[in-house]
Amino acid sequence: MSRVAVMGTGSWGTTFAVVLADAGSKVTMWGRRPQVCEAIAGRHENPDYLPGLELPHTVTADPDPAVALDGADIVVLAVPAQTLRTNLAVWKPLIGPSAVTVSLMKGVEKGTLKRMSEVIGEVLEIGPERNAVVSGPNLAAEIAARQPTATVVACTDHDTAEQVAAACSAPYFRPYTNHDVIGVELSGAVKNVIALAVGMVEGMGLGDNSKASIITRGLAEITRLGVALGAEPATFAGLAGMGDLVATCASPLSRNRTFGVHLGQGMTVDEVVAITNRTAEGVKSTGAILGLAREHGVDMPIAEAVTGVVNGEVPLSELAGSLLSRARKSELA
Ligand SMILES: NC(=O)c1ccc[n+]([C@@H]2O[C@H](COP(=O)([O-])OP(=O)(O)OC[C@H]3O[C@@H](n4cnc5c(N)ncnc54)[C@H](O)[C@@H]3O)[C@@H](O)[C@H]2O)c1
Ligand SMILES: O=P(O)(O)OC[C@H](O)CO
Instruction: List b or e across 264-284, with b for residues whose CB sees 16 or more CB atoms inside 10 angstroms.
Output: beebebeebeeeeeebbbbbb
Nearest to 314 by CA among 332, 296, 302, 300: 302
* Average confidence (pLDDT) over 18-45: 97
| Cβ neighbours for 116, distance < 8 A, ≥ 6 positions apart | 77, 81, 84, 103, 105, 107, 108, 109, 133, 185
104 in contact with ligand 1, CB cutoff 6 A = yes
Mean pLDDT of 231-260: 98
- Quick one: CATH architecture of 187-324? Orthogonal Bundle (1.10)
Rounded mean pLDDT, 167-187: 98
Question: What's the chain's Rg over C-alpha atoms?
Answer: 19
% of the chain exceeding 70 in pLDDT: 100
Distance CA 67, CA 194 (A): 38
d(CA 101, CA 136) in angstroms, rounded, equals 17
Q: Which amino acid is at 102?
A: V
Q: Whose Cα sits closest to atom 5 in ligand 2?
A: 254
What pLDDT score was predicted for residue 229? Answer: 98
Q: Residue range 11-32: average pLDDT?
A: 98
Ramachandran assignment for 8, one of left (phi > 0), alpha (psi -120 to 50 degrees), beta (any other): left
CA distance 72 to 94: 10
Pick the CATH number of 3-179 from 3.40.50.2300, 3.40.50.720, 3.40.50.300, 3.30.70.1290: 3.40.50.720
- Measure 255 CA to ligand 2 centroid, in angstroms: 6
- pLDDT attached to residue 280: 96
Confidence band of 259 (pLDDT split at 50, 70, 90): very high
- Atom number of ligand 2 nearest to Cα 244: 10
| pLDDT for res 279 | 85
3-179 and 187-324, same CATH topology: no
Q: 279 alpha carbon to ligand 1 midpoint, in Å?
A: 6
- Average pLDDT rounded to a whole number, residues 239-264: 98
Mean pLDDT taken over the chain: 97
Give residue-wise pLDDT tens across range 200-229.
999 999 999 999 999 999 999 999 999 999
What is the percentage of the chain residues whose pLDDT exceeds 90? 96
Instruction: Answer whether 102 contacts ligand 2 (Cβ < 6 A).
Output: no
**In Å, how far from its chain's centre is CA 105?**
4
Query: What is the ipTM score, two decimals?
Result: 0.99
Q: Is the pLDDT of residue 130 over 90?
A: yes
List phi, psi (to 5°) of 62: -150, 140
**Is 244 touching ligand 2 by the criterion CB < 6 Å?**
yes
* Mean pLDDT (whole number) for 34-39: 98
> Please, what is the end-to-end C-alpha distance for the chain in angstroms?
49
Average pLDDT (120-126) is 98
| Interval 158-186 mean pLDDT | 98
CA 333 – ligand 2 centroid, Å: 29
Q: How confident is the model at residue 277 (pLDDT cuts 50, 70, 90)?
A: confident
Looking at the predicted structure, is the pLDDT value of residue 248 above 90? Answer: yes
Contacts with 43 (C-beta within 8 Å, 6 or more apart), sequence order: none
- Categorize the per-residue pLDDT at 320 as very low, low, confident or very high, splitting at 50, 70 and 90: confident
Ligand 2 nearest atom to the CA of residue 139, by list position:
9
List the beta strands (DSSP E) in the chain: 3-7, 26-30, 59-62, 74-77, 100-103, 131-135, 149-154, 173-178
Whole-number pLDDT of residue 1? 79
Pocket test of ligand 2: the residue of 49, 186, 256, 261 to mutate, having most ligand atoms within 8 Å of its CB, is 256
Looking at residue 128, its pLDDT comes to 98
Model confidence pTM above 0.95: yes
Contacts of 261 (CB under 8 A, 6+ apart): 199, 200, 202, 203
Query: Strand 74-77 vs strand 59-62: parallel, antiparallel, or unpaired?
Result: unpaired
Q: Is the pLDDT of residue 278 over 90?
A: no
pLDDT for residue 85: 98
Q: Where exactly are the structural domains of the chain? A: 3-179, 187-324
